[in-house]
Structure formats: C-alpha cells, structure tokens
Amino acid sequence: MAENQNLDTLKTPGAVFFIFGATGDLARRKLFPAIYSLYREGKLDEDFAVIGVARRPRTQEEFREDVYRSIQEFCRYSSEQDSEWHAFAQHFEYKSLDINNIDGFRELREQTEQLETKFNIPGNRLFYLALAPELFGSVSFNLMKGGMLDGEGWNRLVIEKPFGYDLESAAKLNEEIRKVFKEEEIYRIDHYLGKEMVQNIEVMRFANAFFEPLWNNKHIANIQITLGETVGVEERGGYYDHAGALRDMGQNHMLQLLTMIAMEPPSRLLAEDIRDEKVKVLRSLRPYASHEEVKNNVVRGQYTHGSAGGKDLPAYREEDKVNSESNTETYFAARVFVDNFRWAGVPFYIRTGKRLPVKTTEVVVEFKRMPTNVYLGQKHSLEPNLLVIRVNPMEGIYVKINAKKPGSESEIAPVAMDFCQSCIVGINSPEAYERLLHDAARGDSTYFTRWDEVASAWSFVDRIANAWRENQGELESYPAGSWGPKRADELLEEDGFHWWPVNGQLEDNVVWLKN
C-alpha cells in the first residue's frame, strides 16, 4: 500500500483485464459483478477492456449477454439494457481458445492490441486465472510464448486457490509460474483477505489505544476462530472430495485470519511490511511433532445424514461426484499454538465445517478472568470479557463486559457493547472480489498472499495431512446441521474452556438484557 494515499478513491489505471475461465462459475458469480461494481463506483478507469477467454464458442454478443445476466443475478448494482449498459458492454470481448494452443495466444495478442488502440489503453495487462490450477503453468508459459507479455505497460497475474495440494506440489506450481512472472507480478488470491472485517482487524488493533496493551498472553486466555458453512459441497464434489476441509479452508482462509489476529504491528503499512509480519506468525506455529500430537490436537469429521430448518440433508457420501466410501473430512478443528513472546501458552482453537447450523465467520477473543473475584458469593459468577470480531454474514465488533445490573444493589451481570457495521453499511459493503481486483489493478499486493506465506502454511498443514494419511486421526461423524463432532468440544474442555456461541447467539448469555 502506498503511504498517505486515499485508496478508496483511486481509480485503476487503464488496463486490459483477461478473465481466463470466462464461462465458469467464478467469473459468472464473482468476477463480472466485481468489474461492474467498480465501474459503477467510478473506480475503473474509462480506458479499460475485458477479454473473456475459455474454450466454448461464443459470439461477442452472446458473451456480453452472459456478462449482463451474471450482473443481474449476482451484482450489488443492477442495470437496464439501456445505452449506458451498451456503452459499458462494448468494452467486453470474448476469445475462444484452448490454453494449450499457442496459436490461439498469438490471435489473442492481435485482439488485445486492437482493443488497446480502440480504448486508448497504455499496454497494462492483468491476467486473472479463474481456471483449474493444473493449467496455471501452461497459461503462464503460453502468455510469454504468444507475445502477450510484450506490451508497453505492466503485466500482472492473479491466481485463484487452491495453490497446490501440499508443499511439494505448491512449490512446483510456483516454480512454473516464476519462470514467467516475477514474485511482485503475482497476486495470489485469498478472498477472505478482501473481506471488510478481515481488513478491519488490522485497523482495530493498530488504531485503538486500548487493544494493543491487552493483546498478548498476559491478558488473553484463548482465541476461537470459526468458519462455519451451512452448505454442503454443492456442484464442487469432485474438487472437494480430493481437497477436504483442511486444504479447502484451513491452509488458506483460516491461517490467514489467524495471522491477522496474531501478527506484530508492522513498522509501516506497506504491503511487504505487513506480509513480513504475517509470515513470522506462520513460521511461529508450533508444528505437531508426531502423529500422536496431531491426534491429540486435531479433530476431523465428516457429515452424515441430518436435517436443518425442517429439511432433510444427505450424508456427504451421498453428494454428487463424491466417492460413496470417501474418507475426506468436511470438518476440522484444531488447537494451535503460536510460539512467540506475545502468544506463548495461548491456545488458538480453529474450526471449520460444511453443513453446520449457521453460516458464520467469527473470531472470539476470550480474556483471562479477574485475578480475584471481589463479588464472590453473588448469584452470578464473573464471566470472562470477550471481544468478538464478526466477519460474515454479520459484520461488526461485539464486546462483552461485566456491569452492575441496573436497579440492583450489587449484582454483576454481563452486558454488551455492540458495533454492528452491517446494520449501518448493509448490503453496500464491497464484495471481497471487488476490492481485490481493484487492489491488483492498482498494484497493491497487501491483501494477497506471498509465496513464503503459502509455503509456511503448507508445511504446517502437511504434518496434519500426513498423519491423517497414515490413519492417525480418526474420522468422526456428525449429523448434517449439527456443530460437528463431540471431540471438538472436548478439545476445549481439556483446557477448561468451551466454544462460545457464534452468530449473534452470544447475546443469550447477556443476562440482564434477557431477564
């Protein structure tokens, strides 16, 4: 991030955006809507073009119609098919191309140059690979061979997860890409880093005087991170059955969220300084020294048949494109330690799963109890203070403190200070993809993952995956619609803690609001 710039108002420089995988799900649900929102917000320079690339044949008009439908269905702004829309749509073109066909890239180059001339674009090119990762290496190579990187301006490569299957495959993938692109030209997407409240963690921690002095093992008892989903694997059973929850959510979103909570304050708010601090956290994660340690600290589960909201839900093994004897985990929870001065001894409990009762991303920071309870003997024992960072779908910050119950002589009860950001900003909160596309086009890599972060995260996760492969982590079952295996509760109970309710249900604990 450049210092002292108001990045909210900065327009992207003139550029061509290439969406490889333009007929796919991600382009339709996230990327086209993100481009349109940027345009509507005045954040996209008028000198832009988008070239959608995939194998399927599409005329230019058909492609523009696809884009229109995706915006109508998924964008926070809508549009009529009016003259303004048609002016916008003229910036979109399609190229049918198999990424293994080098001649296609030469044709793409001609098409690009024509568009650059037509819209007065200074040769900047952003290549977004919404493709299966196996294709990343070939696309990069063919972009170079086809002369697509010889423009007058910058070239940037934006790549989607999963970045590899383990450290070895990720390193190989990285090597292939790095033959063509420099590290600073590569933008590895982790869409959780584009979420409003994930970015707010940094601001909250480093722009408020009262958090930082308490943000350490002297005052914090434990931290709980929950990434819960109500959905199953939907149409992505083929991919998911190969990946599982640990690789799909743990290696990336979960550990990235943990780094934002645990990192030291960077000396400057520059991308490299922030990423340096994040990678230090990942390197400080205590590796599980043996398969036995994995077994004692990590829980893996898979959902069985269940129900939610009166609806019958199938077992994971009955889902489309999932092996009927699959041992893939759809849930995992772990007790993790960050072995540095700040966090020594503080357990981070992390959990994620499909088919849980609520869709929620939440961080609960539980503070240590008061050293003595001068109110002993009262009806209610003192509850620990909690700071809850609500990332999704509710966005906000909630603090639970103890206060005298109004009207009573001396009764203490938990009360809430609740900043509900989503109640104020509502649905206009920018989507993660919108923000990340805007950042990549402006060359701001703060909220993208650097290779050393990806590699450190994989080496932590690989130890768990290896132990599981050798069957040292029993696959527990949980009914769809429940909070996961019981063993995940025991993980905290062993340390004298419990999972705090998430998604607004914590309010049930706030005694005097209820009574």
Annotated binding site for NADP(+): 21-28, 55, 98-99, 161
Query: Among 248, 277, 362, 462, which residue sits at the site for ligand LXAUTJHC (rule: CB under 6 A)?
Result: 248
Residue 359 in contact with ligand NDP, rule: CB under 6 A: no
Quickly count: other Cβ atoms within 10 Å of residue 324's Cβ: 8
75: left (phi over 0), alpha (psi -120 to 50) or beta: beta
Annotated binding residues for substrate, as ranges?
A: 191, 195, 229, 248, 354, 359
Q: 366 - beta bridge partners?
A: 222, 386
How open is the CA angle 159-162-168, to the nearest 5 degrees? 105
| Residue in 253, 305, 438, 498 annotated catalytic | 253
Nearer to ligand NDP, 189 or 387 (CB): 189
Stretch that binds ligand NDP, among 23-31, 303-311, 386-394, 466-474 (CB under 6 A): 23-31
CB of 477 to ligand LXAUTJHC, least distance (A): 20
* Sites for ligand LXAUTJHC among residues 153-212 (CB under 6 A): 191
| Structure token pair of residue 123 | 């040769």
Site string for ligand NDP, 45-84 (x = CB under 6 A): ---------xxx----------------------------
- Which of 108, 109, 122 is closest to 54 using CA atoms? 108
Query: Among 23, 70, 224, 385, which residue sits at the site for ligand NDP (rule: CB under 6 A)?
Result: 23
CB of 27 to ligand LXAUTJHC, least distance (A): 15
Strand duo 331-337 + 347-353: pairing: antiparallel
Q: Which does 23 bind (CB under 5 to 8 A by kind): ligand NDP, ligand LXAUTJHC, none?
A: ligand NDP
355: left (phi over 0), alpha (psi -120 to 50) or beta: left
Strand duo 298-304 + 475-479: pairing: parallel
* Sites for ligand LXAUTJHC among residues 392-411 (CB under 6 A): 392
Is 91 annotated in the active site?
no
Annotated binding residues, as ranges?
A: 21-28, 55, 98-99, 161, 191, 195, 229, 248, 354, 359
Q: Which does 99 bind (CB under 5 to 8 A by kind): ligand LXAUTJHC, ligand NDP, none?
A: ligand NDP
Q: Which does 248 bind (CB under 5 to 8 A by kind): ligand LXAUTJHC, ligand NDP, none?
A: ligand LXAUTJHC
CA distances from 287 to 171, 214, 284, 464, 498 (A): 20, 26, 9, 9, 23
Distance between CA atoms of residues 346 and 217, nearest Å: 6
Nearer to ligand LXAUTJHC, 361 or 456 (CB): 361
Q: Could you give the strand order of the β-sheet that contains 331-337, starting from the edge strand earlier in sequence?
A: 412-420, 396-404, 386-392, 360-367, 220-228, 347-353, 331-337, 298-304, 475-479
Estimate the crossing angle of helix 102-118 against helix 136-145, to 10 degrees.
70
Nearer to ligand LXAUTJHC, 45 or 362 (CB): 362
Nearer to ligand LXAUTJHC, 229 or 418 (CB): 229
| Structure token pair of residue 504 | 């607004």
What φ, ψ does residue 190 adopt, rounded to 5°? -130, 100
CB of 99 to ligand NDP, least distance (A): 4
CA distances from 256 to 190, 199, 252, 340, 342 (A): 8, 11, 6, 17, 18
The radius of gyration of the chain from alpha carbons, rounded to an integer in Å, stands at 24
| Structure token pair of residue 309 | 């909201």
What count of residues does the chain have? 515
Nearer to ligand NDP, 56 or 218 (CB): 56
Query: Among 1, 15, 26, 388, which residue sits at the site for ligand NDP (rule: CB under 6 A)?
Result: 26
Q: Which does 78 bind (CB under 5 to 8 A by kind): ligand LXAUTJHC, ligand NDP, none?
A: none
Distance between CA atoms of residues 110 and 226, nearest Å: 48
Distance between CA atoms of residues 299 and 334, nearest Å: 6
CB of 135 to ligand NDP, least distance (A): 6
Q: Which does 428 bind (CB under 5 to 8 A by kind): ligand NDP, ligand LXAUTJHC, none?
A: none
Instruction: Check: CB of residue 349 under 8 Å from CB of residue 250.
Output: no
Residue 479 in contact with ligand NDP, rule: CB under 6 A: no
Quickly count: other Cβ atoms within 10 Å of residue 82's Cβ: 8
Residue 131 in contact with ligand NDP, rule: CB under 6 A: yes
Query: Among 45, 66, 202, 229, which residue sits at the site for ligand LXAUTJHC (rule: CB under 6 A)?
Result: 229
Residue 176 in contact with ligand NDP, rule: CB under 6 A: no
Task: Give the residue numbers marked as catalytic.
Answer: 253
Given the rule CB under 6 A, which residues bind ligand NDP?
21-26, 54-56, 98-100, 130-133, 135, 160-162
Given the rule CB under 6 A, which residues bind ligand LXAUTJHC?
191, 229, 248-249, 361, 392
